[in-house]
């Protein structure tokens, strides 16, 4: 089979090879032109503890002593960037177009926009639309995280006293390692969340619709899980687990908890891994 594939490659028409090569060159030049067209603007801001982002932009959050904001965008988009601050909340996005096409739902947004925000403490983050968020590390007392639409977020390492995550729509959140006293997770619609490691004293989960939670590597002492619809949740509990599943939902658990209280209805299931 490998010989046949080799022979097929040798007999490709020279014209087709030239077309493919020209296309690859065009893509490379276009990407370089886009990169060169991006500019960086530093926007002065006061101390920030909460961030709201809407639209199709990328948001990179860093923790540091001094608050700062950098905006990277194409030259022709920079004037359309929206930056507002109300007390300690920073509001980011792109201004809606007032053109004729905006009446038909076209917001004329560019996805080639990056916000880089440095905060000392972060207590609230609200993200909507097709935004992409990256937070490599965070050490704060508490964080309220809300993602809606097709928003996606990746958190590297987080140390918190209290974390509350609310995901709706097709939003996604992935956390590499989390250490918290209390962790609350609410998933609605087709949202998905994964916690790859860490620990918490108390885990409280509500999963609705076709949502998915994978947190069996996130070690909780006690866990309470309520799953509805066709949702799926996988958790870890070392001491006690309270699981309530209805519809066609599925709750799986690891950790061999001493006290397990399970309640199922319909075609739902609760069981150990």
Q: Write down the pLDDT at residue 38.
A: 86
Q: Write down the pLDDT at residue 36.
A: 53
**Does residue 151 have a pLDDT over 50?**
yes
**Does residue 159 have a pLDDT over 60?**
yes
Q: Write down the pLDDT at residue 109.
A: 60
What is the band of 14 on the pLDDT scale with cuts at 50, 70, 90? low
Q: Write down the pLDDT at residue 37.
A: 83
**Does residue 6 have a pLDDT over 50?**
no
Identify the sign of the CA torsion 120, 126, 128, 130: positive
**Does residue 32 have a pLDDT over 80?**
no
Dig out the tokens for 124 from the structure: 């609230």
**Does residue 124 have a pLDDT over 60?**
yes
Top-level class of domain 37-97+111-129: mainly beta
Higher pLDDT, residue 46 or 19 = 46
Mean of pLDDT over the chain: 88
Which of 211, 214, 144 has its CA nearest to residue 182?
144
Q: Which residues, in sequence order, are bridge partners of residue 236?
A: 219, 254
Q: Note the CATH number of domain 137-272.
A: 2.160.20.120
pLDDT tens-digit profile of 245-271?
999 999 999 999 999 999 999 999 999
Domain with CATH 2.160.20.120 in the chain: 37-97+111-129, 137-272
pLDDT mean over 89-117: 72
* Structural element, H or E, at residue 21: helix 14-37
**Does residue 5 have a pLDDT over 70?**
no
Listed as own residue / partner, the contacts of 211-219 with beta carbons closer than 8 Å and 24 or more positions apart are 211/167, 211/187, 212/187, 213/185, 213/187, 215/185, 216/252, 216/253, 216/254, 216/273, 218/178, 218/183, 219/255
pLDDT tens-digit profile of 62-99?
999 999 999 999 999 988 999 999 999 999 999 875 54
* Burial track 213-236 (b if 16+ CB lie within 10 A, e otherwise): bbbbebbbbbbbbbbbbbbbbbbb
């Amino acid at each position: 089979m490998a010989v046949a594939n080799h022979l097929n490659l040798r007999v490709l028409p020279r014209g087709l090879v030239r077309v493919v090569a020209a296309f690859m060159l065009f893509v490379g030049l276009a990407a370089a032109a886009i990169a060169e067209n991006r500019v960086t603007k530093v926007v002065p801001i006061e101390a920030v503890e909460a961030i709201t982002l809407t639209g199709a932009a990328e948001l990179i959050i860093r923790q540091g002593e001094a608050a700062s904001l950098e905006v990277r965008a194409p030259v022709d988009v920079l004037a359309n960037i929206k930056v507002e601050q109300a007390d300690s909340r920073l509001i980011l996005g792109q201004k809606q177009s007032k053109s004729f096409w905006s009446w038909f739902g076209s917001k004329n947004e560019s996805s080639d926009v990056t916000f880089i925000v440095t905060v000392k403490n972060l207590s609230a983050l609200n993200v909507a639309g097709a935004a992409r968020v990256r937070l490599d590390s965070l050490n704060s007392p508490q964080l309220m995280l809300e993602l809606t639409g097709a928003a996606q977020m990746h958190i590297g390492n987080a140390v918190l006293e209290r974390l509350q995550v609310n995901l709706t729509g097709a939003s996604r959140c992935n956390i590499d390692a989390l250490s918290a006293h209390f962790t609350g997770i609410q998933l609605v619609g087709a949202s998905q969340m994964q916690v790859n490691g860490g620990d918490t004293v108390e885990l409280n989960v509500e999963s609705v619709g076709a949502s998915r939670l994978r947190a069996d590597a996130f070690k909780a002492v006690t866990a309470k899980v309520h799953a509805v619809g066709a949702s799926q949740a996988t958790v870890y509990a070392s001491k006690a687990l309270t699981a309530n599943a209805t519809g066609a939902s599925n709750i799986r658990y690891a950790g061999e908890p001493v006290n397990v209280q399970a309640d199922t209805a319909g075609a739902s299931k609760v069981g150990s891994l």
